[in-house]
């Protein structure tokens, strides 16, 4: 599970870059949606071998959603899928403070920049 | 490629290590004999390890309720797994293992919900021919309570009296005179009492067979707000007190430091897992964890010791550091994990702990690093503790606190 932090307003560009990269590397599109999708899929996250990676946007502050993410992170981990959580600087700070279980199970926290003509960048 | 030449596939060097270092569950770890059981209670080297103490208490006293407290990633789930495994040495042992996060949204946990989960699991432990009509009926009612029911009825006009009539109706005013004797715990709610009687009916055949029934509950420690845990204990767990069914559960770390001493008051026994000793000169436990999972195949003793030291004694961080070090080494086209790869993993972990720290938290961390103390009572300190930026240690009979070494490294 990776937390990818982008600057305000860069989410569409970052998502487009991730999609382009997935299509080149994996030959498929990444399922992408808001983190509230987790609420709508109580019976599992509809992950399968074709889509082992899932992009989830955290684009607004919701204590309920963060609490859900924090207490159910074990289910995400056990799914053995890979999750890329996209969020902004400010939200990441709030999120990591309020969701210690989630923080503890993150593989990495990365700052992501949209691709430019010289190539993409992950810090 | 020349015929007969052997291609060296570096993936085959790292894949086995990564699959051993981070299996899906303690069960998978246990099946591969990858768990290093602690040799004694972390608070007292003369006492048996926690899983042995819990198993013994459960075997000897029916209905005992015990709690296990520890920070995130301290190995509580593994302790519960070890306890369950030990309890199975008796043929009549019935272990019900529940991870609440798998069943319900912990944030919306209603009183009675856990009791329902226990009742349903108990039902499936009764052999089919032994499920009487009463047991079946109780299970059906339990299911209705769990899932709710929908009924269609004719509207009753008497429920909608004219507004004018209401003015004439006698008004009832509630006057409550508090009792002189304040109960230790609030009364069990009516709905919980109803669930309790259904669970009693389901458990009856198992209880009658004199089985050793133990419920092991994981996941409640993820309730960061201790009050929610307290509510649940005062209702569901207390309703179970009437049964010869033992309970062992994981509880939130903050309750260990709570001044009300609720845990110690409510439970028959409470065990605390502090962070493991990360100084390899004082204990080789963390090194043994890595060695058991094949670390010697990929790194030297120096790197193993570094990983242990920078984990701060948090088992999950030990595993994270080992995994990240392997990934860095692979990325750099190396066949073994070297000191620079470990350092890179430590920096990565340190950054993860650094994100989200405000000025107040950073000042608190600085004070602790300068040995100027740490007050566990205030909200900022508690948040640092729950997030593992500050770790709790236990040595020489007292708790002490230290900044996570990976964060300290990054902060300095």
**What tens digit of pLDDT does each residue of B190-237 get?**
788 899 999 999 999 999 999 999 999 998 888 767 788 888 888 999
- What would the two tokens of residue A45 be? 């996250």
CB crowding B305-331: b at 16 or more within 10 Å, else e: bbbbbbbbbbbbbbbbbbbbbbbbbbe
Residues A79 and B142: their CA atoms lie apart, in Å, by 29
Residues B247 and B174: their CA atoms lie apart, in Å, by 39
pLDDT digits (tens, 9 = 90+) for A28-83: 888 888 988 876 664 445 555 556 788 999 988 988 888 888 888 888 887 778 89
Query: Is residue A122 a part of any domain in this protein?
Result: no
- What would the two tokens of residue B53 be? 């103490």
Do B222 and A74 make contact, defined as CB atoms within 8 angstroms? yes
Interface probe for B, chosen from A1, A40, A67 (most Cβ of B below 10 Å), is A67
Residues A40 and A31: their CA atoms lie apart, in Å, by 15
Question: C-alpha dihedral over B51, B52, B56, B58, to 10 degrees?
Answer: 10
Do A75 and B73 make contact, defined as CB atoms within 8 angstroms? no
- What would the two tokens of residue B92 be? 């009549």
CATH top class, domain B44-148+190-273:
alpha beta
Query: Is residue A94 a part of any domain in this protein?
Result: yes
CB B67 within 8 A of CB B184: no
Structural domains of chain A, count: 1
User: What is the average per-residue pLDDT within B327-340?
Assistant: 95
Residue pointed to by tokens 């709508």: A40
pLDDT of amino acid B4: 52
**Separation of CA B310 from chain center:** 23
Residues A89 and A7: their CA atoms lie apart, in Å, by 7
Contacts of B387 in chain A (CB under 8 A): 96-97, 100, 103
A11: domain CATH number is 3.40.50.300
**Separation of CA A103 from chain center:** 13
- What would the two tokens of residue B290 be? 């890595």
Do A104 and B388 make contact, defined as CB atoms within 8 angstroms? yes
pLDDT digits (tens, 9 = 90+) for B281-333: 889 999 999 999 999 999 999 999 999 999 999 999 999 999 999 999 999 99
- What would the two tokens of residue A30 be? 């990444």
Rounded to the nearest integer, the mean pLDDT of chain B is: 87
Query: Is residue A119 a part of any domain in this protein?
Result: no
Contacts of A5 in chain B (CB under 8 A): 355
Q: How near does any CA of chain A get to the CA of B356, in Å?
A: 4
pLDDT of amino acid A54: 87
pLDDT of amino acid B165: 56
Query: Is residue A14 a part of any domain in this protein?
Result: yes
Could you tell me which of B324, B319, B310 has the C-alpha nearest to residue B404? Answer: B310
Contacts of B355 in chain A (CB under 8 A): 5, 92-93, 96, 109
CB crowding A14-48: b at 16 or more within 10 Å, else e: bbebbeeebeeeeeeebbbeebbebeeeeeebebe
Q: ipTM score here?
A: 0.78
The answer to whether A110 faces chain B, any CB pair under 8 Å, is no
Do B99 and A101 make contact, defined as CB atoms within 8 angstroms? no
Query: Is residue A96 a part of any domain in this protein?
Result: yes
Is 70 exceeded by the pLDDT of residue B178?
no
Domain, as residue range, for A37? 2-41+50-113
Residues B327 and B310: their CA atoms lie apart, in Å, by 17
Q: Assign B3 a pLDDT band (cuts: 50, 70, 90).
A: low
Helix (H, G, I), strand (E, B) or coil at A51: strand
**Separation of CA B5 from chain center:** 51
Could you tell me which of B282, B229, B283, B286 has the C-alpha nearest to residue B258? Answer: B229
Query: Is residue A87 a part of any domain in this protein?
Result: yes
The answer to whether A74 faces chain B, any CB pair under 8 Å, is yes
């Amino acid at each position: 599970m990776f937390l990818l932090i982008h600057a305000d307003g860069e989410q569409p560009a970052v998502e487009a870059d991730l999609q382009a990269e997935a299509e080149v590397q994996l030959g498929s599109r990444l399922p992408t949606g808001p983190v509230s999708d987790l609420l709508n899929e109580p019976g599992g996250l509809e992950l399968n071998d074709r889509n082992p990676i899932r992009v989830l946007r955290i684009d607004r502050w919701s204590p309920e959603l963060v609490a859900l993410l924090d207490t159910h992170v074990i289910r995400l981990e056990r799914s053995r899928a890979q999750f890329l959580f996209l969020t902004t600087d400010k939200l990441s700070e709030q999120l990591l403070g309020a969701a210690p279980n989630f923080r503890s199970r993150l593989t990495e926290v990365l700052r992501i920049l949209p691709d430019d003509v010289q190539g993409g960048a992950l810090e | 490629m020349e015929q007969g030449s052997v291609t060296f596939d570096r993936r085959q060097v790292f894949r086995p290590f990564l699959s051993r270092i981070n299996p899906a569950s303690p069960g998978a770890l246990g099946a591969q004999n990858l768990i290093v059981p602690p040799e004694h209670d972390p608070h007292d080297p003369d006492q048996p390890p926690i899983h042995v103490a819990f198993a013994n208490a459960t075997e000897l006293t029916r209905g005992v309720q015990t709690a296990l407290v520890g920070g995130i990633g301290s190995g509580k789930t593994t302790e519960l797994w070890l306890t369950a495994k030990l309890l199975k040495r008796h043929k009549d042992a019935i272990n019900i293992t529940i991870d609440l996060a798998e069943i319900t949204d912990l944030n919306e946990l209603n009183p009675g919900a856990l009791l329902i989960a226990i009742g349903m699991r108990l039902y499936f432990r009764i052999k089919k021919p032994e499920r009487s009509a009463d047991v079946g009926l109780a299970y059906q009612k339990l299911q209705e309570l769990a899932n709710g029911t929908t009924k269609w009825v004719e509207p009753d006009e008497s429920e909608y009296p004219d507004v004018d009539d209401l003015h004439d109706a006698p008004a009832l005013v509630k006057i409550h005179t508090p009792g002189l004797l304040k109960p230790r715990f609030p009364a069990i709610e009516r709905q919980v009492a109803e669930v309790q009687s259904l669970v009693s009916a389901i458990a009856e055949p198992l209880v009658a067979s004199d089985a050793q029934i133990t419920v092991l509950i994981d996941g409640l420690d993820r309730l960061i707000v201790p009050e929610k845990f307290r509510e649940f204990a005062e209702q569901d767990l207390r309703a179970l007190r009437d049964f010869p069914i033992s309970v062992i559960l994981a509880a939130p770390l903050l309750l260990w430091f709570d001044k009300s001493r609720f845990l110690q008051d409510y439970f028959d026994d409470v065990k605390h897992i502090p962070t493991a000793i990360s100084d390899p000169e004082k204990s080789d436990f963390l090194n043994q964890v890595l060695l058991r999972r094949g670390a010697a195949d990929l790194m030297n003793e120096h790197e193993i010791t570094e990983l242990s030291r920078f984990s701060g004694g948090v088992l999950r961080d030990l595993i994270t550091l080992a995994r990240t070090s392997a990934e860095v080494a692979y990325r750099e086209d190396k066949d073994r994990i070297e000191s620079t790869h470990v350092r890179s993993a430590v920096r990565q972990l340190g950054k993860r702990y650094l994100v989200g720290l405000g000025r107040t938290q950073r000042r608190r961390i600085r004070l602790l690093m300068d040995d100027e103390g740490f007050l566990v009572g205030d909200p900022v300190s508690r948040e640092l503790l729950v997030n593992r930026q500050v770790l709790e240690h236990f040595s020489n009979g007292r708790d002490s606190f230290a900044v996570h070494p990976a964060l300290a490294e990054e902060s300095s």
